[in-house]
Amino acid sequence: MSRTRRRTTSRLRRWFADTHLSYTIITGLERLLSTFSAPFVVIMGLLLLALLGLIDAVTGSFAVAVFYLVPIGLVTYARGRWVGTLMAATAALAWTGVELAQHVTAFDNSVTYLNWLTRFYVYEAIVLLVAPLRDVVAWEREVAAREAEAADKLRALNELRAAIEAEDGGQLARLEAMVEFQHAMTRAEIAHSTA
C-alpha cells in the first residue's frame, strides 16, 4: 500500500473517531425535530407514510417495506413511544391496504390479519428500540451542561484562590495550618474525653 493511501486512510479513521459522526447525526436530528410542533411532525409522518403506500401500490413487486420504518422512526424519536406505536399500527395498516388493493390478499382471508399483526410487531420492535434514544440524548446534554457549569465554578474558585494567595503573601497557608491544628486539637479532646 502506498504511503499516500495509508495517510489518507489514517486521516479518515481519525476523522470518524474524532467527530463521533453517529452522535452528531442523532443530536442534529433531535435539534431539527424539536423545532417543529408535535402535530406537524405527526402529520408529516402520516404524509410520508401515505407517499410510501402510494409508491408501494404503483411499483407492485418492488419491496418498499423497509422504507415504512423511516416515518415510524422519525415520529417515534420526535414524539415518543405511544405516538410511535400508533404510527406502527398505521404503517402496518397501510401495507395491508396496499396488498388488498393489489388483490394479493382478501378481507375474508385470515392470513391478511396475521400479516398485519406480524408487521405491527416488527414495527413496534423498532419503536421500542428508537423511543429511548431521545431520552438518552437529553440526559447526556443535561449532564454535559452540569459538568460545564461545575468546571466553570471550579475554575473561578481556583482563580480566586490564586489571587488570594498572591495578595496575602502566604497568610492563606498559615490560616489553613491553623484550621487544621484546631481540627486536630478537637479530635484529640474528643478522643481524650471518650477514653
* 138-180: pLDDT as tens digits: 788 788 888 888 888 888 888 877 777 777 666 767 777 788 8
Of all residues in the chain, the percent with pLDDT exceeding 90 is: 15
pTM for the whole thing?
0.61
Could you please report the per-residue DSSP string of 135-193? HHHHHHHHHHHHHHHHHHHHHHHHHHHHHHHHHHTSHHHHHHHHHHHHHHHHHHHHHHH
Residue 16 has pLDDT above 80, yes or no: no
Helix (H) or strand (E) holding 39: helix 38-59
- Alpha helices per DSSP H over 69-109: 69-79, 81-101
Indicate the average pLDDT of the chain.
80
